[in-house]
């Protein structure tokens, strides 16, 4: 059962006592059907292992996949592109049409593409095979994501994602009965949310 979905959720937290702001984006990647029941695994890659393209007003960290000749060490089950880009005002970033599906999420700042301006908080999905070049209109932080399309529909309920609604129903029954393996180091049990799908 794939408990990672195809969704992005910005996370922002401000410490109660002030100070630095915590910023991040939680992303789940949908697995191919033949890998949905794969054993869960965790592999840590330090930031220094992730390729950094730095120059011309750009700091582009390749988290997964490949961009402009650099490839992340992260092993995935399908071709994926996942990149964190920080752009100085006026910096240009080319998004090649190599991947069938491509999009950007503008986390901070504003960009211009082909004479149109797009603000923070927007997600832009690009047409297949179209080359795209964007320009930062001020300091900008964005997430570039894409890859191969999923091999069919996925269904999401709470933390359960599957190509089968029957598998999700089974997971709903298994969770409260403790039939999912415990996460090492976790002691708290989180109950299922109320099911409003009926």
Tell whether the torsion through CA atoms of 132, 103, 80 and 107 is positive or negative: positive
For residues 67 and 64, what is the distance between their CA atoms, to the nearest angstrom? 9
Please provide the CATH number assigned to the domain covering 43-147: 2.60.120.10
Question: C-alpha distances in angstroms, 51 versus 58, 81, 110?
Answer: 13, 13, 25
Q: What is the rounded CA–CA span in Å between residue 89 and residue 141?
A: 11
pLDDT tens, position by position, 39-69: 888 889 999 999 999 999 999 999 999 999 9
Predicted model pTM = 0.78
Q: Could you tell me which of 98, 127, 124, 102 has the C-alpha nearest to residue 111?
A: 124
Q: Using CA atoms, how far apart are residues 73 and 64, in angstroms rounded to an integer?
A: 7
**pLDDT computed for residue 57 by the predictor:** 96
Across-strand partners of 111? Answer: 118, 136
Per-residue pLDDT 10s for the chain (198 aa) are 434 433 444 444 445 555 666 667 888 778 899 999 888 888 899 999 999 999 999 999 999 999 999 999 998 898 899 999 999 999 999 998 988 999 999 999 999 999 999 999 999 999 998 999 999 999 999 999 999 899 999 999 998 999 999 999 999 999 999 898 887 888 888 899 987 765
- Closest-CA residue to 159 (of 145, 184, 180): 180
């Amino acid at each position: 059962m794939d408990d990672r979905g195809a969704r992005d959720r910005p996370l922002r937290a401000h410490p109660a006592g002030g100070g630095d702001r915590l910023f991040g984006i939680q992303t789940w990647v949908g697995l191919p059907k033949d890998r949905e029941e794969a054993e869960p695994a965790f592999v840590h890659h330090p930031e220094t292992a992730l390729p950094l393209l730095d120059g011309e007003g750009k700091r582009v960290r390749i988290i997964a996949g490949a961009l402009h000749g650099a490839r992340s060490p992260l092993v995935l089950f399908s071709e994926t592109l996942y990149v964190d880009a920080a752009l100085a005002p006026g910096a240009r970033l080319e998004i090649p049409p190599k991947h069938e599906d491509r999009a950007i999420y503008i986390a901070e700042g504003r960009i211009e593409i082909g004479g149109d301006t797009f603000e923070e908080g927007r997600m832009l999905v690009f047409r297949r095979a179209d080359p795209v070049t964007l320009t930062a209109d001020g300091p900008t932080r964005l997430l570039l994501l894409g890859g191969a399309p999923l091999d069919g529909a996925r269904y999401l309920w709470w933390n359960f994602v599957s190509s089968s609604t029957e598998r999700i129903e089974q997971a709903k029954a298994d969770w409260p009965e403790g039939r999912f393996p415990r996460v090492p180091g976790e002691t708290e049990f989180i109950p299922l949310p109320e099911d409003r799908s009926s």
